[in-house]
Amino acid sequence: MKLDRLLCSKELENLNSNPIITDICSDSRLVRNGNLFLLLERNTQLQEQYVKEAVSNGASCVITPKEFRSDSSLLNIPIVRVDSVRKTLSQVSSKYYPKKPNNILAITGTNGKTSVTKLTEEIWQLMGIKSASIGTLGNSADKMSSTLTTPEPISLHKQLNALASDGFHNLVIEASSHGLDQFRIDSLDISGAAFTSFSRDHLDYHSSMDLYFRSKSRLFTHLISQKGTVVINMINIPSRYYNFIDSIKAENIITIDNKNATISILDTKRGENNNIELQVDLSGNKMIVMTPFKASFQAINSLIAGCMATINTDISIPEAFASIERLSDVKGRLECVASINNNNIYIDYAHTPNAMKSALEAIKSITKNRLIIVFGAGGDRDKGKRRIMSDVADKYADLIIITDDNPRFEDPNLIRKQLMKQSKKYIEIANREEAISYAISLLSSQDNLVICGKGHEEYMIYGKEKIFFSDHKIVEQTIKK
């Protein structure tokens, strides 16, 4: 593909050549002959080093930030300077890998993205619709795992191109705040979007709640198609942000709330097996929604998924809601992984105060004896939430085991110290395997155990070392002993 098919006329000004582009790349180490290299690095000392490495590896053109300064005549290839390399990366990725599923939905929110994404896909599949999802759990079509909730544009558009080529017309993806802030999905035609919840997280990146919210809201104010549909869970969004609804770009808005909404939740109660049943008012029509879930937040996530599944399909909302009772647990999302001697063991990805509160509150309400929790906190992330997480655990749990959870480059001893309290309820066990095994050994009749923080993840990060670790495997091995 020639360069002029990837860039706009303004970006091509002053270029004397139009090289053939053999692929696009944003990692100078991976550049091959004929590649278009896009420089994402902000450190000026590293920029020239990376550009020279890309050229040495065979790049035929380089796209850099406007402020990049280097003698292009020494590089012998075209250099294109742009206002935003990240935005340009999305644009050229979309053009180089042009095929897309016809119906693309995006889910954002502090908590609930993965659940709503997977539940939407499952409803489609229950209805016989060929579909796929991309997010924290990877690409469901090719079973490819992912290190990012929202893949970088090159990877994302390669996947979309492959899905479309394989006949997938319906796709739901997770849109993280990082992904939205970095323009990773800016070049998609998004026909539906959902906002699941908003609470404290990622302040190490966004620096304030308002900036964090602004990143999330881009999906609705800038990226959603004007003819698209938006689903907003008003229950889990602070009221001070409600006015953002006036800026939503889409014509169709579905709200979920306890009253005065498109879908109003009139009553929540527990039915068979302590599963949540919802009585809802759907634009004046009342119906009972049976769910297979133990927590009200899971039930609400299933309502969001039901609404999303109707976008650009022949499924009606009542039909989608009727299918909810057939849904499965999402891996690592308050997932009941074992039941032994009248005790249940749950694994949950909760690593924010609000997510932990929702999970523990739900399981506490169905626990007849003790609620035990195992959790830690990730290193090199928002440190301010650690004390809040401990307060939440202290409020709901009867026994709290503090352990490691991806310390990264922080001292794990200090992280655990920040989580511990002077209380007989608290036990510190650094080794996560030992912590989980010990918690299981303590279970007596009618106790419940919640293992928080890692969910589906199958690794632990200590400094530069990433080792295999699975909460699921540890539970399974411990029970077999």
SS (H, E, C) 119-146: HHHHHHHHCCCCEEEEECCEECCCCECC
State the pairing for strand pair 252-257/190-195. Answer: unpaired
Pairwise CA distance, residues 89 & 343, whole Å: 50
What pLDDT sits at residue 8? 85
| Band of residue 146 on the pLDDT scale cut at 50, 70, 90 | confident
- Residue ranges and CATH numbers for the domains of the chain are 3-89 (3.40.1390.10), 97-326 (3.40.1190.10), 335-480 (3.90.190.20)
What pLDDT sits at residue 70? 74
- The residue-averaged pLDDT of 142-162 equals 93
What token pair was written down for 408?
């990264």
Residue labelled with tokens 């999303």:
308
What pLDDT sits at residue 53? 95
pLDDT in tens, 45-73: 899 999 999 999 999 999 999 999 876 55
The DSSP code sequence of 387-409 is HHHHHHHHHH-SEEEE--S--BT
What pLDDT sits at residue 10? 78
Q: Facing residues of 133 across strands?
A: 172
Q: Is the pTM of this model over 0.95?
A: no
| Band of residue 143 on the pLDDT scale cut at 50, 70, 90 | confident
Sign of the torsion formed by the C-alpha atoms of 219, 304, 176 and 392: positive
Pairwise CA distance, residues 41 & 171, whole Å: 31
In degrees and rounded to multiples of 5, residue 473 shows phi and psi of -65, -40
pLDDT in tens, 333-383: 999 999 988 899 999 999 999 999 999 999 999 999 999 999 999 999 999
What token pair was written down for 386?
């650690």
Pairwise CA distance, residues 330 & 402, whole Å: 25
The DSSP code sequence of 338-404 is EEETTEEEEEE---SHHHHHHHHHHHHTT-SS-EEEEE---TTS-TTHHHHHHHHHHHH-SEEEE--
State the pairing for strand pair 131-135/138-139. Answer: antiparallel
CA angle 369, 375, 379 (to 5 degrees): 170
- The residue-averaged pLDDT of 218-244 equals 97
Task: Name 469's Cβ contacts closer than 8 Å, sequence gap at least 6.
Answer: 432, 433, 454, 457, 458, 459, 460
Cα separations in angstroms, 60 against 21, 39, 54, 68, 351: 7, 13, 9, 18, 44
% pLDDT > 70, the chain = 99
